[in-house]
Chains A and B, each alone.
Chain A
Amino acid sequence: MSDPLNFPQEELFSSPDVNAAREFFKHKSRARTNKLMSVSDAVSRFVHDGDYLASGGFGGVRISTAILHEIVRQRKKKLGMSGHTATHDFQILAAGKCFDRCDIAYVVGLEMRGLSPNARRMMESGEVRVTEWSNATLGWRYKAAVMGIPFLPARSILGTDVFKHSAAKEIVCPFTGQKLAAIPALFPDVGIIHVHRADVSGNAQIDGISIADYDVARASKRLIVTTERIVSTDEIRRDPSKTIAPYWLTDAVCHVPYGSYPGNMPYEYYSDEAHLAEWLDAERDQTTLDAFLNKYIFGTKDFEEYLALKGGEKRMAELRALEPLRRKS
């Protein structure tokens, strides 16, 4: 009998070929240039149809909403998607039908807020090719890429249907004989992170938990950074322990105040639960969702117009007041 745990599983959407990745990084520019650009330019220059995408943050916390909206607005298609605790970010890209394949650790759910009806319809249609993982193993796929090795061994997912429907392989430790799951490196074509402050060359800093952003920034071939504030390089150098990405990893810097809205931005503003509920309500059928997208994404020229529709500075001040970690100014 063949080993039932190593039968052909689901599809591996991206190559763990570390030599090909080295060749790419060998030629990636290290030039310290001014990379400040509009969200629209960042998406048209660095996100292409068919690319594999990794979104930083945690679904509805410190996400780059402006870039995600712009991907929908520019009608990018056939993207690959890393579903690493993907919640509101997943909901946005599902609304735009932007992806056709997905590595799943956590999708369609919105934590305590329920499940996205539209994302569920999309994932139940059979039109999205899927491969199953878990938060740790999908996170360690980035980490293997960061380390420049083709896989990392892990001790979870073994024995379950997550393993059967993953693209991991069972291996035996050469030192201890322990069974392990070999988790293949994941090099996203493009990573998108939202940060508290960055300089124009792309040095980026985060306050609070970093989730998987350190690894997303390093594993991704191209990196788009959106930031609450643009600061000088001197300010970055004042507290280098907060730097999540140095400038030579970053391809685009976009200045987007309230860029995680309606998600939470720790130390800045809390989530807009009313608007997140409005999203869920709009998803009850395609007609109401189309009207909602026409109003907030296709009908606005940029993220600033969207924020204005949602109450602008007045609403943002309310969300700042709700933030428990906000700095006293």
Chain B
Amino acid sequence: MPHENKRNNLMELMICVAAHQLEDGKTAVIGTGIPLAAAMLAQKTTAPNLIVLFEAGSVAPQLIKLPISVADSYTQTGCLIHGSMNEIMEACQRGIVDYTFLGCAQIDMYGNINTSLIGTDYQKPKARLPGSGGANDLASFCWRTLIITPHDKRRFAPKLDFVTTPGYLTGPGARERAGLPPGTGPYKVITTLAVIGFHPESKRMCVESLHPGVTKEDVRASTGFELLFVEPLATTPEPTDEELRILREEVDPQGLLIGK
């Protein structure tokens, strides 16, 4: 299991790993919470020219604090355009948005996500969850979809009760056959145990690095389907002192995500 060392906690590690995925000078539609903390950290470290968009309409704000809603005032501080949801979604569909960053309730080996319901009766589900929101659209349109999630057997499921958001659907070529824009799809899944990519041919989840203290067996035991592993398997790099300082002092000084 991941060791919570004295230097940084698991949430801090995940946010730093997530920040590393975002290249400078790219565009990203970002949701609140961990994805936004990662984007803010990236802007303050390796990606100062990362362009942040919010699905409710704010374009390229200068972020001063973590917002609660993707529409609230903190998404609009110093923005370039007071846009609309259409403006953002149309930009994504047009192909000018590089990244999106999602969470999930359930995910399968092709990176398909369920955030709609648990159960088999659509009109009377066992548990009703929020639904797509913008996730289906963003994962259909953006070039690279990043997913950040706790890693456990219930979430990493062999079969989803409902495919809300497309990963690679049923495997290679399935997205294109369905009519989704070619060249898009899930890119990385950042979990509490590992960083997972997708195998270039099979499009199946393939573990790229394990967080410090985590073993292959830990990851297998927490996953409801067969995972692939790259060889040699890396260890997820620990956050640097500078990253931790910026994360704690500038990105999340109240400890809303990373704790006190």
Contact = CB atoms under 8 A, between A and B. Distances in A.
A45 to B, nearest CB: 29
Interface in A208-222: 208-215
Interface in A268-306: 270-271, 273
Contacts of B74: 324
A105 B131 contact: yes
Contact of B128 (A85, A120, A137): A120
B89 A159 contact: no
A193 interface: no
B257 to A, nearest CB: 10
B93 interface: yes
Contacts of B166: 158-160
Contact of A108 (B82, B130, B136): B130
B128 A266 contact: no
Interface string A191-210: 00000000000000001111
B130 A58 contact: no
Contact of B84 (A212, A267, A270): A212
B179 A264 contact: no
Nearest to A173: B179
Interface residues of A, number: 70
- Tell me which of B58, B85, B141, B166 has the highest count of chain A C-beta atoms within 10 A of its own C-beta: B85
A108 B71 contact: no
A249 interface: no
B84 A209 contact: yes
A155 B72 contact: no
A325 B76 contact: yes
Nearest to A62: B71
Contacts of B85: 135-136, 139, 211-212
B86 A139 contact: yes
B186 to A, nearest CB: 13
Interface string B48-89: 000000111110000011001111111111000011111001
B104 to A, nearest CB: 13
B99 to A, nearest CB: 16
A140 interface: yes
A165 interface: yes
Contacts of B178: 5, 158-159, 179
A119 to B, nearest CB: 8
Contact of B123 (A111, A130, A170, A210): A130
Interface stretch (B9-17, B18-26, B148-156, B157-165): B157-165
Contacts of A225: none
Contacts of B75: 209
A112 B54 CA distance: 15
A124 interface: yes
A184 B98 CA distance: 28
A91 B116 CA distance: 17
A259 interface: no
B73 A323 contact: yes
Q: Which of B89, B137, B162 has the most CB of A within 10 A?
A: B137
Nearest to A157: B136
Contacts of A140: 86, 89
A154 B134 CA distance: 14
Contact of A156 (B76, B112, B121, B136): B136
Interface residues of B, number: 61
B77 to A, nearest CB: 6
B137 A59 contact: no
Contacts of A133: 132
Nearest to A214: B84
B102 interface: no
Given A120-B127, A156-B137, A161-B116, A208 B76 contact: yes
Interface in A160-175: 160-162, 165, 170
B126 interface: yes
B58 A209 contact: yes
A266 B126 CA distance: 37
A108 to B, nearest CB: 6
B140 interface: yes
Interface in A109-145: 109, 111-113, 115, 120, 123-126, 129-130, 132-137, 139-140, 143
Contacts of B205: none
Contacts of A230: none
B32 interface: yes
Contacts of A95: none
Interface in B98-148: 112, 116, 121-137, 140-141
14 contacts: A58-B69, A62-B71, A107-B130, A107-B131, A124-B127, A126-B121, A135-B132, A136-B93, A159-B178, A209-B57, A209-B75, A215-B84, A270-B72, A324-B73
Given A162-B132, A209-B75, A211-B85, 6 more contacts: A136-B137, A156-B180, A159-B163, A208-B82, A212-B85, A271-B72
Chain A to chain B: the 4 pairs with minimum beta-carbon distance, closest first: A159-B178, A179-B179, A109-B130, A58-B71
Interface of B: 32-33, 54-58, 64-65, 68-77, 82-86, 89, 92-93, 112, 116, 121-137, 140-141, 162-166, 169, 174-175, 177-181
